[in-house]
Amino acid sequence: MPDKIDILVVEDDEDINQLLCKIIKKSGYYPQSAYSGTEAIMYLEKQNWDLILLDLMLPGMDGEAVLEKIREQGVMPVIIISAKNEKETKVSTLRSGADDFITKPFDIDEVSARIDSLLRRYRYTNEATERVLTHKDIQLNLEEKTVYVNGQKISLTVREYHILKLFMSSPKKIFSKANVFESVWNEPFYGDDNTVNVHISNLRNKLSQANPNEEYIETIWGMGYRMKS
């Protein structure tokens, strides 16, 4: 497993949220509390999460809507923790993309065991499948840090590689300039658009040189960038 496992805890009851965070810390993982659906979306846009604990009855945007947003962004394991224990709710959320469902009131040891089990399952399947990210004819090898386009190896700078990796990790997600800058440069974004623009322009040029007949990165005006489907 990686050194740092980040888990987003989306629960509006402060006592339950803090209890879940304690369970997570005890297992050696790193929790982040969110107390509403809107706050959860904000954290989802900032980074990728190794696992999400999600309550259904949230102020503002409810848990079902948050789950839908999570699934739009890519593959992240989700455990629903809810007092809604009707069979229809469980079946509906599992079919909508949740991986597990725990009913309140919950047993602390059971929550801990299910978190461990789900992380193991995702890590096991991802080790085999996520060493190489693919999109159209791009192959990005995460271990070797190499990129092939249209069968030929291309040379990228460190920044260009990390931008492409970011986009390919969640190909349906639109990344704002702030998302890109803060993820790749690991610094706060103060509105210097040109830095991100220049790097993405250079990346596009290199991809285009390898295959002029294909477009890989699209600009969503007023919003940002994503991989072109």
* CATH number of domain containing 16: 3.40.50.2300
Task: Examine residue 1 and state whether it is found in any structural domain, yes or no.
Answer: no
Report the pLDDT value the prediction gives residue 13, as an integer from 0 to 100: 95
20 plus 120 within the same structural domain: yes
Question: Average pLDDT for consecutive 10-residue bins of the chain (229 residues)?
Answer: 80 96 94 95 88 92 89 80 83 84 91 90 61 90 88 88 93 92 85 83 95 95 92
- 119 inside domain: yes
- Verify that 13 and 63 share a domain, yes or no: yes
How high is the pLDDT of residue 2? 46
pLDDT at 3: 56
31 and 63 share one domain: yes
pLDDT at 1: 40
Q: How many domains does the chain have?
A: 2
Q: Are residues 185 and 157 in the same domain?
A: yes
Task: Kindly state the tokens that stand for 165.
Answer: 């990796």
Cβ density class 143-155: b for 16+ within 10 Å, e for less: eeeebbbbeeebe
Q: Are residues 56 and 121 in the same domain?
A: yes
Of 104, 127, 150, the residue at which a domain comes to its end is 127
Question: In the numeric block, which tokens belong to residue 33?
Answer: 């509390």
> Which of these three, 77, 98, 127, is where a domain ends?
127
Residue 85 lies in a domain: yes
pLDDT at position 75 is 66
75 three-class SS: coil
| Residue given tokens 């085999």 in the structure block | 128
Domain boundary among 127, 161, 180: 127
Q: Which domain holds residue 188?
A: 132-227
